[in-house]
Amino acid sequence: MTTFDYDLFVIGGGSGGVRAARIASGEHGAKVAMAEEFRMGGTCVIRGCVPKKLMVFAAGHGAAIDDAAAYGWQVEKGRFDWSKFRAMMDAELNRLESIYTRNAEAAGVTIYHQRATVADPHTVRLADGREVTARHILIATGGTPFVPDAYADTGAMTSNEIFLMDQMPGSMLVIGGGFIACEMAGIMQGLGAQVTLMYRGAQILRGFDDDLQEHVAAALVSQGLNLEVNTDLTKLERLEDGRFRATCTQGRVREYDSVLFATGRRANTDGLGLAEAGVTLGKGGEVVVDAYSQTNIPSIFAVGDVTDRIQLTPVAIREGHAFADTVFGGTPVKPDHTMVASAVFTRPEAGTVGLTEEQASAEGPVEIYMASFNPMQSSFIKAESKALMKLVVCAETRRVKGCHIVAPGAGELIQLAGVALKMGATKDDFDATTAVHPTMSEELVLLRKPTRSVAKTG
C-alpha cells in the first residue's frame, strides 16, 4: 500500500480551500496540508468582498450626510480622508487573515506560506524545492483580474490594486460593465472622485435582468457618474505627470488621474503544472471538473473561482465543504448551484436570485409583477432614489422563478427572498404573506396584478 505524506494537500488559502481543509482535517480526521503564496483569506478577504464592502460603507456615508442635512440635522461635510480609512482597512484585513490562519491550524492543518505547484497526480512541489506527496490534491487558487495586453504597461489598476492606493484620485476612468466595474465606479464616485464608466456593450450588468440593469444604470447616472455604453477604449497613454490620456471609439480624448480595468477575471492556473500532470483545462485556463469537483485525474480536485462555475465566495465554500464530505466523510455530496442569490453593491444595491425574465420566458410563459417607486425615506426629502421590486412567475405553475430588487439593503433582502424561492414558493404564497408596513420590501407581497405577461420565447 502506497504511503503518502498527507491525505490531502490544498493549493490556495482562500475561502474554498480553507473550508475544505478544515472539514477534511477537523471533522473527518484527514492529515491535511495547505500552501498559500500570498495571504491567507484569498480574494474575498484580502482583495475582494471584505475591503470592497468596507469601501461601500465609507462611500455611503457621504450621501447619508447630505440626507441628514435634508432631514434637519446641522452638519458640516468635509472631504473623505483616504489615508485614515486605508489604515483602518489594512488593520481589519490583517485581523481577518490571522483568524483564517488560526482556524485552519486549530483544525490540524499544516500551512506552508509559499507557492506550491503540481509535480504529478500525487506530488506537490514547494517553492523552497521540497516535494511532498498526497493521496488527493485540491486546487483552490481562485481567479485574478487583469489588464488587457495592449494596456498592460501603462500602470492602470485592477480591482486588486485599488485597495492599495496611496491617495484618492480626483478623477477615474473605469473600463468594464460587470458587477465589479459598477461597484468600483459607484464607490469612487461616492468617495468624491469624478468617475467615467466606459463599457463596450449596450448596457451594464450583462446577464442580469434587463429591468435591474436599466434601474442600476439610471441610479449611477443620477449620482453624477458619467456612463458611456457602446464605447470602448482605443488608446491609453501615461503622461509625464502620472495622469492618463484616454481615447475612445467615439473619438473623445480625455485625461484622468487613474484608470481601473474591470474587464473580467481569469483562473489562476498559470505555471501550476496542471496541464503537465494531465489535468484538462478550459479555454480560459479554468480547471474542468465534474459535479463532485473532480478533474479527469482521479486524485486531483478543484473548487472555487479556478473552476469558473459561479464566482462567489459562498459558492466556493459550499464546494469545498462538499468535496471534503465526499472524499473524506464517506458521504457523496454535489454542491448545489441552483437558486444562488447574489448582490451588486452599487448605491442603491441590487439583489437577484433565480432566473431573469429572459431566461424564464425561454422555458415557458411567465407573468411579470413589478413596482418602481421612490421609498418614503427619500421621497420625504424630495430625493430621487427609486427602488425596484420584481417577481418573475411561471404562468402555468405560479412558482416564482426569479426575484430582482434594487433598493437600499437589497443584499439583505435578497437573502431572505432566496430562502423562499429555494423552497419553491409560489406567487400565491407571496400573496398570502402579510406585509410589514411601512417598508420597501412589503411591495413583494402586495404585487397583485401582473405588469405584463410574456409568452414562451424559447
List the catalytic residues: 437
Whole-angstrom Cα distance, residue 69 to residue 72? Answer: 5
Number of Cβ atoms within 10 Å of the Cβ of 455: 9
Q: 176 a known binding residue? A: yes
Parallel, antiparallel, or unpaired: how do β-strands 300-302 and 342-344 relate? unpaired
Q: 119 a known binding residue? A: no
Dihedral sign from CA coordinates of 273, 144, 53, 165: positive
**What is the DSSP track for 277-323?**
TT--B-TTSPBP--TTSB-SSTTEEE-GGGG-S---HHHHHHHHHHH
Percent of the chain that is helix, strand, coil (3-state, to 5): 35, 25, 40
DSSP-H helix ranges across 71-209 = 82-106, 179-190
The residue written with cell numbers 426629502 in the block is 381
Whole-angstrom Cα distance, residue 195 to residue 217? Answer: 14
Q: 183 a known binding residue? A: yes
Are 55 and 93 a contacting pair, CB within 8 Å?
no
Q: 305 a known binding residue? A: yes
Of 456, 432, 433, 434, the closest CA to residue 367 belongs to: 456
Cell for 258?
A: 487613474
Q: 242 a known binding residue? A: no
Please report, in angstroms and rounded to a whole number, the separation of the first and last CA atoms in the chain.
55
Q: 262 a known binding residue? A: no
> What is residue 65's three-state secondary structure?
helix
Q: 248 a known binding residue? A: no
Are 434 and 422 a contacting pair, CB within 8 Å?
no
What is the phi/psi pair of residue 413, to 5°? -65, -40
Q: 177 a known binding residue? A: yes
Q: 53 a known binding residue? A: yes
Distances (CA, A) of 56 to 184, 187, 376, 406, 442: 9, 6, 22, 16, 25
Number of Cβ atoms within 10 Å of the Cβ of 274: 26
Binding-site positions read: 53, 176-183, 264, 305
Binding-site positions for FAD read: 53
Binding-site positions for NAD(+) read: 176-183, 264, 305
